Structures are given as C-alpha cells and as structure tokens.
C-alpha cells in the first residue's frame, strides 16, 4: 500500500522528488537498524517522519546527510545517486542538516558559529544579515559562546544556519527537543515559510501535533521500516495507534 | 645588574623557544585530541637534519631553513597524522599516549641510526648570524640569535592567535574539537584540518628545536634534545592545552627561573645543575597538582575499541605451572649467556606486571616504572645487603623494605592521580621519571643530613648482589633464574586472584566510570592510592631483581626512555593481561637480543652480505617503536591475537597433540645436541606460530562446512530467540560460571505471570 500509493497520489502533483531513498538498509556495526526503507521528499514539500523512540528516524536522516553510509539500496538527491558522497560534500552542494540535540559548537561564539555555516558557500556578511534579521536575539549576543545560550537560543542559532545557507534540501531532527511549546510553534512557522520558498524539508519529530500542521505528508517509522505514508489527515488514526499503543 | 640583564634576556629567548614548541602541542591537541609526546623528537630530528644540510653538506642557511621548516617538518607532521594518528579515533587515552610515545622512540632510534652518536667529530650547531654577531645596547652585548628567537616567538604567538580567531580555517580547527560531525554537516573537512594542524605543529617543533640548540651550546645528542623540548610540556600544561597567553606566560616563567638558577646558585653547590635540569619537570608536576580539577565525566559512555577477557583462576594456575616447566626445559638446553638474557627478560617482565596492574586493571598510567625500580635499588644498596665481597647477599628484609619505600613513593606520586586521569597522570609520572634520572641518579657527592652521611648514587654505580632468602642462596645463575620465574608466576597468579575479588571488580568499575563509582559510594581515593602503592612495590621488586641480575647498575639502566619503551611494549603485548607483561620482558630484552645476535652471526657467516645484515641490525633498533605505532590498528594488543590463534589449537585435540609433540621432539633434538640452539629458536617459532595457522585453516575449513558462524555474545537474542545454550555460552563469555542466577525458565515465565 504505502509506496505505490504515495507516488500515485502525490508524485505528479508535487513534482519530481528531490530526495529519494530506495530500499535502503543501514547498520551500526553489525546491528541492522534500517531494513529496506523507501521514501521520497517531493520538491518544495515538508515531509514529517514520525515514530516512537528508537524507531530509526535519526538514522534515516543520518543516511541522507552522508554521515552513515547505507549497507545497500540507493540514496538519490535530485535524481543523482549520492551513496558514496561524504557529509561535507553533500553540505556544499545544498543539503543542510540540523542534527539531533543542539546543532551548535558550544565553544565558538554566535558569530563564529555562523562563520562555519559559510563553508556551504554563502559569504559571512549575508549569513549574519539573514540570521540577525530573523532572530534579533542572536544579534544582541553575537560575541557570546554558543554553549552559554539558552536551549531555545541555541536552536535559533542552528535554524539561522539553515535559513541563511540557501539549501535546496533541509533535514531537521527533533527540532522541538526540550523546548517550550510556544518556541516550537514559532520554529515550525519558520519551517513552513522556508518550504514556501521551494526548499524540500524532511523533519523527524516526536511532537506530532505541531509538525502535522505544516507537513504535506507524513511517514510512520516503526522498527526500522516505513509502515505507512500519507497526508496528515489520512494518518490521524494510525498515529494515535503508534503513539498510544492502543 | 649586568648579569641580571644578560640572563633575563637569555631567559626570555629560551622562554620564546619553549613557547613555540608548546604552541605546537596546543595546536595539534586542539584539533585531534592527541597529545603529541613526539614533539621533542620531531624537534630533535629537525635539528639533526638542519645540521646535515647546513654543516654536513655546507648548504647556505636560508636554503637549509626552507628545506627543513618549509618542506620536511610540515611533511612529517602531515604524514604522521595520515598514517598513524588518524587511526586513533575511538581508542582509549592509553592507546593514544602509547602510540605517540612509539613515534617518539621511533624517531629517536632513527636519528641515532642515521647520525651515529659515536661518530668521532662532535656535531656543533652555531647561532644564526655566526657565534660573534652581537647587538650592542649600551654596555650590554646580546647575540642576534637571542633577539631573533624572541621576536619569532612573539610573531608566532600573534600569528596563531590571528589564525584561531580571525581566519575561518582557524575557527574551524577549534570547531573540530567541539563536534567534528557537525563541522562536516556545515561543509567543513575535519580530517584535512587535523592534518594541516599536525603539519603546523611539526613545523613549530622544528622551529623550536633549531632555535634552542644553539642556545644550550653543547654537542647535539638525540636523547638530550628530545627531552629538552619536553620541558615545553610544562608550559603547555600551564595553558591547560588551550590558552595561548597562559602558555606564553608559563614558558617565560619556566625559562627565566631556570636561567636564574644557573646565574645565581653558588657554583659550589654540586646539585644546582641537576636542579636546573629538573626544574621544568618540577614545574610540570606542581602545575598538574594544582590544575583545576577535571570534572568527573560519566555522561558520555565511550565505546572503546579495546577488549580484555579475564582468565579464570584455574587457567592462571595452569599457565603458571606451564611457564615454570618451559623455563626449566629452556634452561637445560641454553648456553649460559642465554640463561642470563632470559633471567633479565623475566625481571623486566616483573616490572611490566606493575603496569598491567595499574593500567590494565585500574586504567591509570605510569610512564616511569623503572624510576621506582631505581628507588628500590638505592634502598637495597644502602640498607639491604649483608656480608661483603663474594659473600655479599641481598636480604629478604632489604627487598621488603625496598618494596615498602617504593610503595610510599608511589602513594606520593598518586597524589595527582587522585584528581587526574589519563594524559595528565601520564605526564605527572613522566615528570617524576625525568626528575629521578636528572636529579637523584646524578647524586654522586656525599651529603650529611642530621649527622647521617650518605651518597645516594655512589660513584654512579651500585653493586647489588643476588638475594639469599632464609636458608636458600640464590647466588647461582640457575637458582636466580628460577627465583625470577617463580616471582613472576606468583605475582601474576596473585593478580588474577585480585582481579576476581571484590576489590578487583571495584577497580574495573572505577576504570570504566569514576563518576558512577563515586556515586555508588566507593572510596575512589582509597582504591587509587592502594593500587598505586601495590604497583609501585611490584616495580620496585622487579627493579631489585633486575639490578641483581646485572650485578652493577648505573643510572642508564633506569633511563626514562627505557621506561617508556617498556610501557609501550606492555601495551602492545596486551596491558590487560599478565601474559602481556611476559611478552614485554621477553620481547624487549630476549627477542631483540636474539635477533641482534642472529643477524651478527649471519653477518659473519655470510660476509659478502655483511652490509645487508648490518642494515637489519640497525633496523632492529627501530623495531619496538614501529610495533608500538601499529597499536592504533589493534588496540587490544598483540598477545590477544596470538591467544586467538592458540584458541584454535585448544579447541582441537589433534592440533594440540601435534604442536606439543613437535615441540617436544625439537627440544629433545636440541638437548641431545643433534641440532643447535639457533635451529631450536627458528623451529620453535615456526611450530608455535605457523602450525596453528596452517592447521587451523585446514581444520576450520573442514569443521565450518555447514556449521553457522558463531554469534558474538552481545548479539545473542537479537536476531533469533534466546535458548538455554545461549545462556550457557553467555555465562561463559562473561565469566559468570560460578555465579548463581535465577534459572532461565523462571526468567522467561515472569512476564507471562505478570500479564496474566
Ligand atoms: N551510534 C549507534 N550505535 C549503535 N546503535 C545505534 C546508534 N545510534 C542509534 N542506534 C540504534 O539504532 C536504533 C534507531 O535509532 P535512531 O536514533 O535512529 O532512533 P530515533 O527514531 O531517532 O529515536 P528517537 O526518537 O529516540 O530519537 C536504536 O535502536 C538505537 O539504539
Ligand atoms: Mg532521533
């Protein structure tokens, strides 16, 4: 049901998929964690990966970002196979990943953190301009060490990178972790805006409610498989089953 | 005033050079998390290479400088990173330290190989702009070299700061430390940055060496130069391997203090030059003592690549007994020199046991094992000998006293260990070792304290007789051989018992997570203190045995480089095992010696190929270090590999019978003098190493047909249901044989009851 159904229904509408996983398996050492995942992120859409702890959401994102090479299957970016590419190569051609936890360098200042974002090709002045315009709070603290920022401010800093480097694909892992609901809502509002500018976004999230508000599609991950894909409305029932175990 | 100014300027310049070396350490540590013990050796190699270009071949100075500083030194750093250091991701601190020590010893052996220290003309190194180029400030004459050194140091300080704060690559180098993966996600290349920083660190080391050598003015010596730049360690620690301004300050303080000691201590104090030489190490020790405490880290569980299995007590007894029998059989066929070498090897193995106890069991590091031996030897020499002339014997009480004294010194050294771990402790013990060899072992003059007259290291030579314990006299070589073998076996078995005791388990817990141990209410202080004392006592006893085997020892026997080599080879052998210590002793003493003898014999026998064999003889000096460097690839040690091979033998009766039978035959042939000892060595080697491999392959191929590959215990139950055999296998793997646990059936019934 899942894969074919997904393509038939939405593939044509949303244009060619920018990110595509075909039968991807991945393992940590000898323990296989992903058992043949198929997934596509159509251009300019937000896809939410939902599922309980340890299901393999972060692992899927790691495989796409190039940090964990898949043991078999194909990872495609804009139709090109990128299995062997390293994370930094992918980052320089327009893939932006905000990893789990806080995606900042704690012993670097806010400004220096933004400076690191320029390795993807955008000049520092522009990165700073976009970042401080969007998050004035960061502008006030540009000399402060990122490790001393509050959790929300740190997440703003990592989002600032995502906004300013002009990516074509954005991978977000647990944006909401440890943040107040209001902050989370704010961040996702920004994510929605970014996607309207044509960026394809894949979000892993526990906080299903908020992300479903902005996602066009959602995929449910269970035990290293994608068990169901559909629009948020279609998945309403399954979601409560997956999370509440009823 | 004139003197003061003169020495202040000298001190500033020396401090500048120390800073340059220390900043190199900071740069490499910052980006790769590896403290480069080889920093001094790189400086030394650069000095020798520069000397070769400049004075050996008469190149002009700028060309020689460009070649050494611009090309060779950075290249060496980059290659070191690519080939050696890169592989150290995910290994324990001990492995990291040992590998960089391996590099240090390797470079040093290489330098002594290429630039023979016995060469007739002493190599002199001149100041830049010649020995007579002075700048005049009023009545003050300052060599240009000194001025240049200080200016370069300041330029380097400014340059590095600029790099780390104002350039993107520099900031990225700092980012690598925080999170290399995140840097990659940003589009950076952590590996390349680390390589560049190693090239830079190596450049800085070379620069420091070339600046320092003319300041000290003596003839070039590989060992002295290596240690000289190690003085910069203290400066780097003063900056806590992070802060450059503090590092600069530390370097200046150390250099100024040492030059003032030279200037103002009365020259009739015989110890002032020793004191000057050991001052940087005293500083290092004090800095480590007062360094703000590293918070106990428990949150991040490191997945290390090292694995050690604990042998059972029964295995220990069997191994001990086997070893005694093997020693006896070897003695029967060996020439007298062979017995001497074997005994010496066993004494080193005993010293190495102290390292296994400390590092393998408790995770603490001691880089100065032989210094403890030196202390014990001094105690025995002064208080533990009865009789004179050929009747002189070391008494049991002397040995026990020596053990007690070294244990107390061990407790003293453990003071920093109570707060520090890993790298800092390694440095503290190394500081102690260098202090002992520079300050204590050079003490030849008679001193008087409270009316008691004594000389610590009388005339540079201490004669230690063989021991006599109760009625048993161990003066004969054979008797002494058995004493050493017995001692090794006894201590080894004792250690296995210890490991199985509650105390041993607490040690392991402390090694894995000091924070968790502390929160469980264990007294980490008592554990650390006691383990350090025990380890020091074992090293002391081993040292006394070593001295008794040699007869008369001088300070070279306790050289810090020998301690380092011993620690390195023990880690290679497998620091978690008693057998690792045996490997260290045999390898470092007997194997190298045998290899040398064999090559020399070949060189004589086949004189047309002499040059080739002489080359190999030199190559042997680099061998231990080379093996140390390979640790990055196999962090659990060589013995574990051999043991894996032997396990195949153990599993198959026919193979075991073949190996033992063959060995007995070889031995019998040698004992009846049908074949020579050389044949014995070669055939034994082939029998023990090759037969299991070949036979194992053959047997495996047969046995494996149709049999599934064994599942590693940690995976049991993940990809198929858990069975009773699995439980038994797991128990065996975890050494839980004797432990009573609820039977598997009740374990599996519980959930059923609960849901019912
Ligand atoms: N570095 C690793 N080494 C070994 N196993 C790992 C590693 N990282 C994750 N795993 C395992 O892989 C599985 C999937 O983990 P993953 O992090 O992808 O889950 P997740 O869906 O992101 O969970 P969460 O919602 O808790 O973040 C888990 O069982 C986890 O234990
Ligand atoms: Mg996750």
Per-residue pLDDT tens digits for A116-172: 999 988 899 999 999 999 899 999 998 999 989 988 899 989 999 988 888 999 999
Best probe residue, ligand 1, of A39, A55, A175 (max atoms within 8 Å of C-beta): A55
Residue B58 has pLDDT above 70, yes or no: yes
- The confidence score (pLDDT) of residue A246 equals 37
Residue B687 has pLDDT above 50, yes or no: yes
pLDDT, chain B, mean: 81
Distance separating alpha carbons of residues A200 and B80, to the nearest angstrom: 42
**Relative to the alpha carbon of A62, which ligand is closest?**
1
H helix intervals, B575-706: 578-585, 592-605, 610-629, 638-651, 653-671, 677-685, 691-704
Range scoring the smallest mean pLDDT among A154-168, B1-15, B305-319, B484-498: B305-319
- One-character DSSP codes across B385-429: EES-GGG-EEEHHHHHHHHHHHHHHHHHHHHHHHH--HHHHHHHH
Asked if residue A28 has its Cβ within 6 Å of ligand 1, the reply is yes
Q: Does residue A89 lie within any of the structural domains?
A: yes
**Sign of the dihedral defined by the CA atoms of residues B544, B546, B550, B552, in that order:** negative
Per-residue pLDDT tens digits for B355-374: 999 988 888 888 999 999 99
Ligand 1, closest atom to CA A204?
22
**Relative to the alpha carbon of A226, which ligand is closest?**
1
**Relative to the alpha carbon of A208, which ligand is closest?**
1
Torsion from C-alpha of B600, B605, B610, B615, nearest 10 degrees? -30
Which H/E stretch holds residue A172? strand A169-173
Decide if B466 contacts B475 (C-beta within 8 A): yes
Q: A55 and A126: one domain?
A: no
The number of folded domains in chain A is: 2
Average pLDDT, integer, range A190-219 = 87
Decide if B353 contacts B493 (C-beta within 8 A): no
Q: A5 and A86: one domain?
A: yes
Strand partners, A95: A169
Cα angle B104, B107, B112; round to 5: 125
Asked if residue A223 has its Cβ within 6 Å of ligand 1, the reply is no
- The confidence score (pLDDT) of residue B421 equals 66
Decide if B480 contacts B548 (C-beta within 8 A): yes
**Relative to the alpha carbon of A31, which ligand is closest?**
1
Which H/E stretch holds residue B305? none
Asked if residue A176 has its Cβ within 6 Å of ligand 1, the reply is no
Q: Does residue A87 lie within any of the structural domains?
A: yes
Residues of A in contact with B177 (CB under 8 A): 107
Residues of A in contact with B715 (CB under 8 A): 30-31
Distance separating alpha carbons of residues B366 and B427, to the nearest angstrom: 9
| d(CA A137, nearest CA chain B) in Å | 22
| d(CA A150, nearest CA chain B) in Å | 18
Q: Is B305 on the interface with A (CB under 8 A)?
A: no
Q: Does residue A57 lie within any of the structural domains?
A: yes
- The confidence score (pLDDT) of residue A26 equals 93
- Strand B472-473 to B467-469 pairing: antiparallel
Report the Cα B493 to chain-centroid distance in Å. 24
Q: Determine whether the interchain pair A88/B172 forms a contact, defined as Cβ–Cβ distance below 8 Å.
A: no
Per-residue pLDDT tens digits for B261-291: 887 877 666 677 778 778 888 888 888 878 7
Q: A244 and A177: one domain?
A: yes
Q: Is A67 on the interface with B (CB under 8 A)?
A: yes
* Ligand 2 centre distance from Cα of residue A97 (Å): 13
State yes or no: ipTM above 0.85.
yes
Q: Does residue A76 lie within any of the structural domains?
A: yes
Q: Is A103 on the interface with B (CB under 8 A)?
A: yes
Q: Determine whether the interchain pair B171/A88 forms a contact, defined as Cβ–Cβ distance below 8 Å.
A: no
**B576 Cβ partners below 8 Å, 6+ apart?**
B306, B308, B356, B360, B361, B636, B637
Distance separating alpha carbons of residues A91 and B181, to the nearest angstrom: 12
- The confidence score (pLDDT) of residue B627 equals 74
Residue B197 has pLDDT above 70, yes or no: yes
Q: A22 and A79: one domain?
A: yes
Average pLDDT, integer, range B472-483 = 90
Q: Does residue A234 lie within any of the structural domains?
A: yes
Q: A62 and A122: one domain?
A: no
Mutate which: A62, A65, A66, A88, vs B, most B CBs within 10 A: A88
**In this predicted model, which residue has the larger pLDDT, B181 or A237?**
B181
- The confidence score (pLDDT) of residue B694 equals 72
- The confidence score (pLDDT) of residue B744 equals 45
Q: A215 and A113: one domain?
A: no
Per-residue pLDDT tens digits for B415-470: 776 776 678 888 888 888 988 888 777 777 766 666 666 666 666 788 888 888 88
- The confidence score (pLDDT) of residue A201 equals 94
Q: A35 and A153: one domain?
A: no
Nearest to A105 among B168, B178, B184 (CB): B178
Q: Is A115 on the interface with B (CB under 8 A)?
A: yes
Q: Does residue A114 lie within any of the structural domains?
A: yes
Which residue has the least CA distance to atom 31 on ligand 1? A54
Per-residue pLDDT tens digits for B158-193: 998 899 889 999 999 888 877 888 999 999 998 899
Per-residue pLDDT tens digits for B25-38: 988 887 888 889 99
Report the Cα B706 to chain-centroid distance in Å. 46
Asked if residue A57 has its Cβ within 6 Å of ligand 1, the reply is yes
* Ligand 2 centre distance from Cα of residue A204 (Å): 7
Distance separating alpha carbons of residues B71 and B67, to the nearest angstrom: 5
Residue A40 has pLDDT above 70, yes or no: yes
Q: Does residue A190 lie within any of the structural domains?
A: no
Q: A7 and A81: one domain?
A: yes
Range scoring the smallest mean pLDDT among A62-76, B104-118, B149-163, B646-660: B646-660
Residue A126: which domain range?
Answer: 102-166
Q: Determine whether the interchain pair B184/A107 forms a contact, defined as Cβ–Cβ distance below 8 Å.
A: no
| d(CA B172, nearest CA chain A) in Å | 7
- The confidence score (pLDDT) of residue B363 equals 81
Which H/E stretch holds residue B275? helix B272-290
**In this predicted model, which residue has the larger pLDDT, A2 or A209?**
A209
Decide if B751 contacts B731 (C-beta within 8 A): no
Q: Determine whether the interchain pair B715/A30 forms a contact, defined as Cβ–Cβ distance below 8 Å.
A: yes
Q: Determine whether the interchain pair A106/B183 forms a contact, defined as Cβ–Cβ distance below 8 Å.
A: no
Q: Does residue A136 lie within any of the structural domains?
A: yes
Best probe residue, ligand 1, of A35, A54, A223 (max atoms within 8 Å of C-beta): A54
Q: Is A61 on the interface with B (CB under 8 A)?
A: no
> Within 10 A of A22 (CB to CB), how many other CB atoms are there?
17
Q: What is the DSSP letter of B167?
A: S
Q: A112 and A212: one domain?
A: no
Nearest to A116 among B177, B188, B189 (CB): B188
Nearest CA in chain B to A102: B182
Q: A114 and A74: one domain?
A: no
Q: A231 and A117: one domain?
A: no
Confidence of residue A9 (pLDDT cuts 50, 70, 90): very low
**If phi over 0 gives left and psi between -120 and 50 gives alpha, with beta otherwise, what is residue B637?**
left
Q: Is residue B392 exposed (0-12), middle (13-18) or buried (19+ Cβ within 10 Å)?
A: middle
Ligand 1, closest atom to CA A221?
21
Query: Which CATH number belongs to the domain containing residue A40 in this structure?
Result: 3.40.50.300
Q: A77 and A172: one domain?
A: yes
Confidence of residue B716 (pLDDT cuts 50, 70, 90): low
Residue B680 has pLDDT above 50, yes or no: yes
The residue with tokens 């309207």 is A196
- The confidence score (pLDDT) of residue B196 equals 93
């Amino acid at each position: 049901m899942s894969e074919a159904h997904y393509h038939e229904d939405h593939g044509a509408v949303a244009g060619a998929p920018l990110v595509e996983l075909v039968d991807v398996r991945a393992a940590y050492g000898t323990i296989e964690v992903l058992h043949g995942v198929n997934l596509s992120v159509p251009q300019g859409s937000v896809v939410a990966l939902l599922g309980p702890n340890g299901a393999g959401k972060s692992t899927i994102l790691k495989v796409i970002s190039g940090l964990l090479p898949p043991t078999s299957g194909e990872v495609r970016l804009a139709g090109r196979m990128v299995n062997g590419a390293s994370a930094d190569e992918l980052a320089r051609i327009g893939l932006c990943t905000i990893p789990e936890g806080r995606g900042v360098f704690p012993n670097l200042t806010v400004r220096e953190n933004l400076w690191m974002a320029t390795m993807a090709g955008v000049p520092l002045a522009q990165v700073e301009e976009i970042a401080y315009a969007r998050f004035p709070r960061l502008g006030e603290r540009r000399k402060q060490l990122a490790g001393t920022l509050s959790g929300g401010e740190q997440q703003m800093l990592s989002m600032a990178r995502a906004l300013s480097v002009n990516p074509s694909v954005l991978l977000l892992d647990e944006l909401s972790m440890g943040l107040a609901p209001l902050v989370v809502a704010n961040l996702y509002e920004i994510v929605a805006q970014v996607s309207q500018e044509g960026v394809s976004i894949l979000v892993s999230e526990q906080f299903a409610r908020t992300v479903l508000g902005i996602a066009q599609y959602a995929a449910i991950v269970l035990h290293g498989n994608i068990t169901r894909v559909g629009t948020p409305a279609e998945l309403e029932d399954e979601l409560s089953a997956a999370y509440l175990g009823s | 005033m004139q003197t003061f100014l003169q020495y202040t300027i000298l001190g500033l310049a020396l401090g500048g050079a120390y800073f340059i070396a220390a900043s190199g350490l900071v740069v490499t540590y910052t980006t790769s998390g590896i403290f480069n013990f080889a920093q001094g050796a790189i400086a030394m190699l650069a000095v020798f290479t520069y000397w070769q270009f400049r004075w050996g071949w008469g190149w002009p100075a700028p060309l020689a400088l460009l070649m050494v500083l611009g090309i060779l030194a950075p290249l060496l750093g980059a290659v070191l990173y690519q080939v050696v250091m890169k592989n150290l991701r995910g290994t324990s601190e001990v492995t990291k330290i040992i590998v960089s020590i391996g590099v240090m010893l390797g470079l040093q052996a290489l330098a002594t190989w290429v630039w023979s220290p016995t060469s007739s003309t002493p190599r002199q190194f001149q100041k830049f702009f010649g020995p007579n180029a002075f700048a005049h400030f009023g009545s003050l004459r300052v060599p240009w070299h000194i001025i240049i050194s200080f200016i370069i140091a300041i330029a380097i300080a400014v340059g590095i700061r600029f790099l780390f704060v104002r350039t993107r690559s520099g900031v990225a180098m700092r980012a690598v430390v925080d999170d290399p993966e995140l840097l990659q996600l940003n589009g950076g290349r952590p590996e390349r940055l680390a390589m560049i920083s190693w090239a830079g660190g190596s450049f800085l080391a070379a620069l420091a060496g070339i600046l320092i050598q003319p300041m000290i003015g003596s003839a070039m010596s590989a060992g002295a130069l290596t240690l000289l730049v190690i003085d910069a360690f203290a400066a780097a620690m003063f900056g806590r391997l992070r802060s450059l301004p503090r590092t600069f300050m530390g370097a200046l303080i150390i250099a100024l203090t040492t030059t003032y000691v030279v200037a103002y201590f009365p020259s009739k104090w015989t110890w002032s030059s020793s004191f000057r030489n050991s001052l940087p190490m005293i500083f290092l020790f004090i800095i480590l003592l007062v360094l703000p405490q590293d918070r106990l880290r428990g949150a991040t569980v490191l997945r290390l690549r090292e694995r050690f299995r604990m042998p059972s007590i029964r295995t220990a007894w069997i191994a001990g007994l086997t070893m005694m029998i093997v020693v006896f059989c070897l003695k029967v066929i060996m020439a007298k020199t062979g017995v001497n070498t074997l005994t010496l090897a066993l004494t080193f193995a005993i010293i190495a046991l102290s390292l296994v106890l400390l590092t393998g069991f408790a995770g603490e590091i001691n880089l100065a094992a032989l210094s403890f031996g030196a202390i014990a030897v001094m105690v025995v020499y002064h208080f533990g000998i009865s009789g004179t002339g050929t009747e002189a014997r070391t008494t049991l009480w002397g040995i026990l006293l020596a053990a007690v004294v070294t244990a107390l010194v061990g407790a003293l050294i453990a003071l920093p260990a109570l707060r520090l771990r890993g790298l800092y402790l390694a440095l503290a013990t190394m500081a102690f070792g260098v202090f002992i060899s520079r300050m204590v072992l050079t003490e030849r003059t008679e001193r008087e304290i409270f009316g008691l007259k004594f000389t610590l290291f009388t005339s540079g030579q201490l004669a230690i007789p063989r021991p006599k314990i109760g009625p048993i006299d161990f003066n004969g070589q054979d008797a002494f051989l058995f004493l050493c073998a017995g001692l090794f076996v006894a201590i080894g078995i004792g250690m296995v018992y210890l490991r199985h005791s509650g105390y041993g388990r607490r040690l392991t817990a402390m090694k894995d997570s000091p924070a968790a141990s502390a929160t469980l209410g264990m007294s980490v202080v008592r554990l650390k203190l006691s383990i350090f004392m025990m380890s020091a006592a074992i090293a002391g006893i081993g040292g006394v045995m070593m001295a008794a085997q040699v007869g008369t020892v001088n300070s070279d026997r306790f050289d810090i480089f020998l301690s380092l080599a011993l620690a390195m080879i023990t880690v290679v052998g497998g620091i978690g095992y008693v057998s690792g210590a045996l490997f260290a002793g045999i390898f470092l003493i007997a194997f190298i010696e045998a290899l040398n003898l064999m090559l020399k014999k070949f060189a004589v026998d086949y004189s047309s190929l002499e040059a080739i064999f002489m080359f190999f003889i030199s190559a042997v000096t680099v061998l231990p270090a080379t093996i140390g460097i390979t640790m990055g690839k196999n962090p659990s040690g060589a013995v574990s590999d051999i043991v894996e091979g032997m396990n195949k033998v153990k599993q198959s009766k026919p193979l075991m019978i073949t190996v033992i039978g063959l060995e007995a035959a070889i031995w019998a042939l040698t004992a009846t003098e049908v074949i020579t000892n050389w044949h014995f060595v070669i055939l034994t080697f082939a029998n023990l190493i090759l037969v299991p491999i070949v036979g194992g392959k053959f047997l495996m191929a047969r046995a494996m047909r149709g049999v599934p590959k064994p599942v590693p215990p940690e995976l049991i139950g993940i990809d198929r249901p858990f069975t009773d055999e699995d439980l038994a296998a797991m128990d065996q793997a975890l050494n839980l044989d004797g432990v009573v646990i609820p039977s598997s059936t009740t374990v599996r019934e519980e959930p059923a009851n609960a849901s019912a």
